[in-house]
Amino acid sequence: MTASCRIQSLRHYLTLLLALMLSTCGGDSGNSHAPSASQLQAQEIHAPALTGDVARDGLNWFNFRRQQAGLLALKRNSTLDGAARNHANYQQANNVVTHDEIAGKIGFTGVDSQQRLRAAGFQFNPAGYSDGEVIAATAGRDGFSAAEGLMAAIYHRFAILQPVFDEAGAGTAMRDGGYTWLNLNFVFNQPSSLRTGRLIQWPAAQQKNVSVNFFSDQETPDPVVQRDEVGFPVSVHADINAFLSVDSFTIRPAGAAPLPTRLLVTSNDPETPHSAAAIIPLMPLLGATSYEVEFVGAVDGIAVNRRWTFTTR
């Protein structure tokens, strides 16, 4: 699995451009692939029904995870579906995994996600908006697994769990004997955002069956340089226009000492937006273990203190 991430900030909007490439590499002992759809359904209460439609399943899984985090489900938008499908077809036709299209190539509809959304007929609010794009290319045709893999990659999670996004579109393209491309676009198209001081976290409070690890080298930029297998990232998210400050952020096995972690905040990591923060344990977590997390900080100057627990699978 490889992953790439870019964040671009512009005057009237923030564009999150994120990509994840998932593949099944025979003999790769360091593989961090997400569980299959059947495994995810077995371990998750109230998991969505599997439809076999990769685009629908991928978006349904993101909505399931967003609702677990306390966010509203994304409303599916047929115009966004068209833009997502067009870009999936471009990637399939040119056998690439990318956010950028090149004029003159087969299937070209726009250089970046905003151009492609406009080409599909989506009207942005000139008073303020944001959009995000997440891509997975997988050897299997499993929308749940592809979406769960994207959730594990911390820079990608910053977009998937962005609280202000309220609409989404999903599209797929497939190549026999090759990849299945899953492309999702998220938008927030209103001049206002969520109330001041709102904060959500992942893993969610009391969540069970949380993965014990994450393979840092598979995300680009690499969030933990010189380490590959690390613990599952823990993150907090405010709305896209907020500024999140961190006084302390810790994780520990229940009743034990805090674990050594890599803290990701905008002041020490340019890939982390100013509205979010994460800690990544420097070693894999223990299986079937309860972990205690504490976050102390502020959202736009309003003090926030969160304590919660989750359990690994």
User: Contact, 294 vs 247, CB < 8 A?
Assistant: no
**Paired residues of 165 in beta bridges:** none
Cα distances from 309 to residues 189, 202, 312, in angstroms, run 34, 10, 10
pLDDT at 101: 97
Query: Could you give phi then psi for residue 155, rounded to 5 degrees?
Result: -65, -30
**Paired residues of 167 in beta bridges:** 75, 187
What gap in Å lies between CA 313 and CA 303, rounded to an integer?
32
pLDDT at 120: 98
Minimal CA–CA distance to 158: which of 306, 304, 311, 14?
A: 14
Residue with tokens 């070209």: 108
Which residues of the chain, if any, have pLDDT below 50? 1-14, 22-32
pLDDT at 23: 39
User: Contact, 203 vs 279, CB < 8 A?
Assistant: no
- Alpha helices by DSSP H, the chain: 37-43, 54-68, 78-94, 113-119, 143-152, 154-160
Q: Which residues of 100-137 are buried (b: 16+ CB within 10 A; e: fewer)?
A: ebeeeeeebbbebbbebbeebebebeeebbbbbbbbbb
User: Contact, 259 vs 282, CB < 8 A?
Assistant: yes
pLDDT at 11: 29
Residue with tokens 């497939």: 174
